[in-house]
Amino acid sequence: MSGRRRDPGAVLLRGLLWAASTLYGLAIRLRNRRYDTGRTPIHRAGVPVISVGNLTTGGTGKTPLVAYLATTLRSHGYRVSLISRGYGRGEAALNDEALELEQRLPDVPHVQDPDRVAAATVAVEELETQLILMDDGFQHRRLHRDLDIVVIDATCPYGYGHLLPRGMLREPLSSIARADVAVLSRSNYVSPAERQAIREAYQRKCKGENPQLLWVEAEHRPARLIDYRDRSEPLEQLSGKRVLAFCGIGNPEAFQRTLEDCGAEVVDLHALPDHARYDADTVGQLEQWGKSQQAGCDAAVDWMVCTQKDLVKIRAANIAGLPLRAVQIDLHVQPHEPLVQRLLEISSMGPRPV
């Protein structure tokens, strides 16, 4: 996808993927046109709906943003419910993002259903919610939303410039014109000049159609270390540790950078598929990998480290004889006030807070 490989096989494969992405792009444009013209109906939930989504596949940092939004709205007295498709949950009641959000937001219910309209109905009629946060909802246009927030990963802002499957774009970059708020996530991982270039590139894609688009930048900062029982440890304990890291997220390189920024020495990173299921086979592979890495090291390895999204599924005290810890990531938004004001404006359209 990135285009770094130049061998004949890679070039041929990119050509085939490009042809498939052309057909995919045609289907996306036709689908969006049906919603834009009203030929496909859009359903209202009866309460304000705030959607958080993205234009690319992979991990853009939506989960910390959803937690930030929910916490902000709860602090102003609103009863908030989360709804999402529940991708990757299999037979489980909740998928990994929902389990992480449940740990972060124990007082915020989460309804998972591929039919987001049905999920919203449950949230309103059964949970008496006053406001709905729809996770990963930018492409789910069947449910009306009052605020569309799009998350853009500063470390891969353009999805390699191509639609799926040639690149990582779910729809063209010009679709940013539908958004109300753009959040540049992991903004601390790129320079001010790069952040400005990303902003200007997206503004050009709007072609003047959305002059009211609010642009904010968000830093993903490690907040604490946790174990499988959600017991907290100071983040400083990670400094100087030699660790084996694993993760099943869309952007494993960002996780490794986070650990290194905390002062850890990452002996090796084992990247699993996004939404990986930690069944017996997967855990067994991690055990074997951990033992082989330790056997091949001249110096001792101190810890095994993963993301909070992984820990809520694996729920183990140690792997391969190493203590297992996760890093919880919190979001810091700049500018903070304009986004909060926009949230409260939308929230005031529904029932009054309690």
| Numbered residues of the known binding site for ATP | 56-63
d(CA 306, CA 308): 7
CB 150 within 8 A of CB 100: no
Tokens of 3: 């285009």
Q: How far is CA 334 from CA 54, 157, 283, 290, in A?
A: 19, 18, 39, 39
Q: For the chain, first and last CA: distance in Å?
A: 49
Sequence ranges of the binding site? 56-63
Task: Kindly state the DSSP code that residue 298 receives in the 8-state scheme.
Answer: S
Tokens of 231: 């017991």
Q: Are strands 214-226 and 181-185 parallel, antiparallel or unpaired?
A: parallel
Strands (E), 123-213: 131-135, 147-153, 181-185
Q: Where are the alpha helices (DSSP H) in 235-303?
A: 252-261, 280-295
List the one residue out of 71, 73, 62 whose CA is nearest residue 96.
62
Bridge partners, 334 (sequence order) = 217
